[in-house]
Amino acid sequence: MYLCFIMFSYATCQIFLFACRRVSGNGFTGKIPNFLGSLPNLVDVAFHGNSFEGPIPESLSNLTKLTTLQLGDIVNGSSSLAFISNMTSLSNLILRNCRISDNLGAVNFSMFAQLISLDLSFNNITGQIPQSILSLGNLRFLSLGNNSFTGMLPELISPSLKSIDFSYNQLTGSLPSWATQNNLQLNLVANNFFLGSADSSALPSGLKCLQRDTPCFRGSPEYYSFAVNCGANSSTRGSDDTIYDVDPSDLGAASYYVSSQTRWGVSNVGQYFSFSASDAKNIIYSPQHFQNSDDSKLFESARMSASSLRYYGLGLENGNYTVLLQFVEFAFPDTQTWQSLGRRVFNIYVQGHLKEKNFDIRKTAGGKSFTTVNRSYTTIVSENFLEIHLFWAGKGSPRIPTEGYYGPMISAISVSPNFTPTVRNGGKLPDGRDIAVKQLSQSSHQGKSEFVTEVETISAVQHRNLVKLHGFCIDGKTPLLVYEYLENGSLDRALFGNSSLILDWAMRFEIILGIARGLTYLHEESSVRIVHRDIKAGNVLLDTNLTPKISDFGLAKLYDESQTHVSTKIAGTMGYVAPEYAMRGRLTEKADIFAFGVVMLEIVAGRPNTNNSLEEGKIYLFEWLWSLYEKAQALGIVDPNLNEFNKVEAFRVICVALLCTQGSPHQRPPMSKVVAMLTGEAEVAQVVTKPSYINEWLLKGGNQSYVTCSYSGFTSSDVSTSKESKHLTTGAGHG
Q: Which residues are catalytic?
A: 534
Give the span between the Cα atoms of 163 and 140, in whole angstroms. 6
Contact 228, 244 (CB under 8 A): yes
* CB-CB contact of 214 with 383 (8 Å): no
Within 8 A by CB and 6+ apart from 729, the residues are 446, 450, 454, 558
d(CA 593, CA 591): 5
- The C-alpha atoms of residue 299 and residue 374 are separated, in whole angstroms, by 11
C-alpha separations of 216 from 208, 363, 583 in Å: 7, 38, 39
Burial tier of 373 (Cβ tally within 10 Å: 0-12, 13-18, 19+):
buried
733 contacts 444 by C-beta, under 8 angstroms: yes
Nearest to 374 by CA among 343, 412, 409: 412
Cα 429–Cα 433–Cα 438 angle in degrees, nearest 5? 65
313 within 8 A of 396, measured Cβ to Cβ: no
Cβ–Cβ contacts within 10 Å for residue 257, how many? 17
Q: How far is Cα 526 from Cα 559, in angstroms, rounded to an integer?
A: 12
Strand, helix or coil at 521?
helix
Classify residue 416 by burial, with Cβ atoms within 10 Å: 0-12, 13-18, 19+.
middle
Phi/psi for 7 (5° steps) reads: -60, -40
Single-letter amino acid, residue 45: V
Which residues have a Cβ under 8 Å from the Cβ of 643 and sit 6 or more positions away? none
Nearest by Cα to 45 from 27, 57, 30: 57
- Strand-strand pairing, 353-360 and 308-314: unpaired
Cis check: omega of the bond before 55, within 30 degrees of 0: yes
Judged on CB neighbours under 10 Å (0-12, 13-18, 19+), 434 is: middle
Contact 230, 302 (CB under 8 A): yes
Under a CB-based contact definition with an 8 Å cutoff, are residues 282 and 252 in contact? yes
Handedness of CA 678, 681, 682, 688 (dihedral sign): positive
Q: Which residues contact 599 (CB under 8 A, 6 or more apart)?
A: 491, 515, 535, 536, 537, 540, 576
Q: Are the beta carbons of 628 and 634 closer than 8 angstroms?
A: yes
Maximum alpha-carbon separation in the chain: 103
- Tell me how far apart the alpha carbons of residues 451 and 225 are, in angstroms, rounded to a whole number: 24
243-244 and 236-237 as β-strands: parallel, antiparallel, unpaired?
Answer: antiparallel
Rounded Cα distance between 157 and 136, Å, is 8
The answer to whether the CB of 58 falls within 8 A of the CB of 36 is no
| Whole-Å CA distances, 4 to 10, 15, 36, 57, 59 | 11, 10, 12, 19, 19
Secondary element (H or E) of residue 323: strand 319-327
**Coil/strand/helix, residue 506:** helix
Report d(CA 728, CA 446) in Å as an integer: 11
